[in-house]
Chain A
Amino acid sequence: MDHSTPDQTRLPPSLRCAVLMTMDMDGPCHEVGRGIAPLGINSWGRYSPRRGVPRHLEMLARSGVPATFFVPGYDALHYPEVVRAIDQAGCEVAAHGYLHEAWDVPASEEEPLLRRTDDILRQTLGKPVHGWRSPSGRKSDLTMRVLKSLGYLYDSSDKDYDRPYRIRFGAAQDDTLIELPNNTYSLDDFPFFKFSHTPPSEVLSQWKAEFDGLYDNERYFVLTVHPRSGWGSGTPARTRILEELIRHIQSHEGVQFFNAAGFARWCLDNPNHLEEARS
């Protein structure tokens, strides 16, 4: 297919601003994968399936917006009913590592790990998944090719751009994937609740300001949160600010909420609006 490729992604006037709410489930696998028993203070991943995911699903339904939950394979094995509840609520389930591998996975292990989680999620849901986000944002030069071979449409791990784009990882015409970059410094709950002990209302102000800036310029907004307790957003006060943020976003004209796969499809259907970058 021949199409012109812009030097910078520009959404058309008909799509004033695309918004993606993304939840990294990060249940007990986050600790277990680091060799830590999910007991005592290390049990806050258990909060995710017990309280945080159901609370976020309820909040999203009340707000009338879709979302994508990135789920590690190990958590899906142990909480299949929670993963199915995400799907049944109309939200997307996508892949997020097996044991939340937040380290450099040796090249020989990368593909088996990606396939393992893909198998688990497919079997749990009875249907394919369409995307992946790296646990902790680590990728290799092999990753995109494996994701493509799994039939995925998108990756949502890179931090290098404020707009979606098409990544070209090989010479063949089809060697591309949609990249949906996220920002784990200021549009993520973890730094504010773990490092800076910021009150929820102040985090809300921060995220509103981030949205306002992006709404006027890049017109693409991705929030990354975790439904756990501790440094996550599963607790009632922190879920409440997510709801208020969504209301703030909804008060802006022309905003359209997507799940990540839905927006990746939009990108595939509108190639002329998307920059292509080589990986």
Chain B
Amino acid sequence: MKTGFPWPKGAESVIALSVNFDADAYDLLSTTPERLFGRFSYGRYGVRTGLPRLLDLLQELAIPATFFVCGLDAQRHQSAVREIAQAGHEIASRGSSLGPVPADADELDMLQRGLDQLRTAAGTPVSGYRAPNGELGPRTLARLAQLGLGYDASFQDDDVPYRIGTTHGDLVEIPMCYALNDAHPYSARHTNARVMQIWREEIAALRDVNGLVPLTLQLRGDFGSTRGSRISMLKDLLQTLRADPGMMFMRHDSIAELVRNAGLPVEPDPILIHEDTLSHTEYRGDLAVRPH
């Protein structure tokens, strides 16, 4: 079943390589600024050690990427963010901190603050958003449109991007893929080889159906992809993908533009049909978070 998606001429499949910056802001979910040492310095590893490695690799292979950065990290690592932008990569938003979704009334301010902090640090336009932990509130999509953003990249519901209409205008959704996000298997302490096996299989099959390959990396030193052995493994994979004449790397903002110009239908905001049921359904949390 081919997706039939109108990729640019010559491309069978497009790879959207993204990096969740998630440095100190992630560690600050668990500790205070005075205690960002020891076990809470894996985020700093990502910036000090991981980022130069990753930028070198992307430059060597001439691959464009999208970096999602929250406002707090942008403030704390302004020069790193600027360096990423100057290397030709896209800088996109991840909110103002990596904390939980704020109450409806505070969300617009929070998102605006994150964008302001990021634009100041990056010195580039910012047109996209990825929710921390993938968690969106019922009004988040509408708020993103209200703030003039062009796309969200947080969903897990399709093999290709599509358009969502909100009360404040249309957005492009560029979905992620759970199996193509290093955070999940590395958090569960799986080996590099196992992650690579998963990725090669999932990517080959997505390519065959003309799907989007949303390869998602973390910068961090714990469950990210910038450790030396992981970077060299990543290099092997990216070299293979780059050598495939049917595959093309695109930044998220370019994909969003492609989708807007492709004349695809605009789907209704997915919250609308569920809102009433949710309003009287008890919150029970995720099913079976851990094996038992």
Contact = CB atoms under 8 A, between A and B. Distances in A.
Q: Are A and B genuine complex partners?
A: yes
Interface of A: 28, 30, 32-47, 50-51, 54-55, 58, 74, 78, 99, 102-103, 136, 190-191, 193-197, 199-202, 229-231, 235-237, 239-240
Interface in B143-198: 154-159, 175-179, 184-185, 188, 190, 194-195, 197-198
Given A30-B287, A99-B281, A197-B190, A41 B154 contact: yes
Interface string B242-281: 0000000000000000000000000000110110011001
B211 A236 contact: yes
B271 A36 contact: no
Given A30-B287, A46-B270, A50-B157, A39 B208 contact: no
A42 B205 contact: no
Contacts of B198: 197, 199-200
A240 B155 CA distance: 23
B274 A40 contact: no
B156 A197 contact: no
A42 B270 CA distance: 12
A36 B286 contact: yes
B21 to A, nearest CB: 18
B286 A34 contact: yes
B201 A197 contact: no
5 contacts: A32-B281, A34-B287, A41-B131, A41-B133, A195-B188
Given A40-B154, A51-B158, A235 B287 contact: no
A201 B131 contact: no
A54 B185 CA distance: 28
Interface residues of B, number: 53
Nearest to A56: B1
A47 B156 contact: yes
Contact of A35 (B141, B176, B281): B281
Contacts of A40: 131, 134-136, 140, 154-156
B287 A37 contact: no
B209 interface: yes
Interface of B: 1, 131, 133-138, 140-141, 154-159, 175-179, 184-185, 188, 190, 194-195, 197-198, 201-202, 204-206, 208-209, 211, 270-271, 273-274, 277-278, 281-288, 290-291
Nearest to A78: B273
Contact of B159 (A35, A190, A236): A236
Nearest to A190: B288
A23 to B, nearest CB: 15
Contacts of B177: 229, 235
A279 to B, nearest CB: 25
B287 to A, nearest CB: 5
Contact of B156 (A74, A136, A229): A229
B288 A194 contact: yes
A240 B211 CA distance: 15
Given A34-B283, A229-B157, A237-B202, A42 B134 contact: yes
Contact of A236 (B178, B184, B209): B209
Contacts of B287: 30, 34, 102, 136
Interface-centre pick from A39, A55, A191, A240 (highest chain B CB count, 10 A) = A39
Contacts of B136: 37, 39-40
A43 B155 CA distance: 6
Contacts of A37: 136-138, 271, 274, 278
Contacts of B274: 28, 32, 37-38
Nearest to B287: A102
Given A41-B154, A99-B281, A103-B284, 9 more contacts: A28-B270, A35-B284, A39-B138, A39-B155, A43-B156, A43-B270, A74-B277, A136-B287, A236-B206
Given A32-B274, A41-B134, A229-B156, A197 B204 contact: no
Contacts of A30: 287
B1 A58 contact: yes
B218 to A, nearest CB: 15
B247 to A, nearest CB: 15
B283 A35 contact: yes
A69 B52 CA distance: 49
Contacts of B185: 197
Contacts of B184: 197
Contacts of B205: 235-237, 239-240
Contacts of B154: 39-41
Nearest to B154: A40
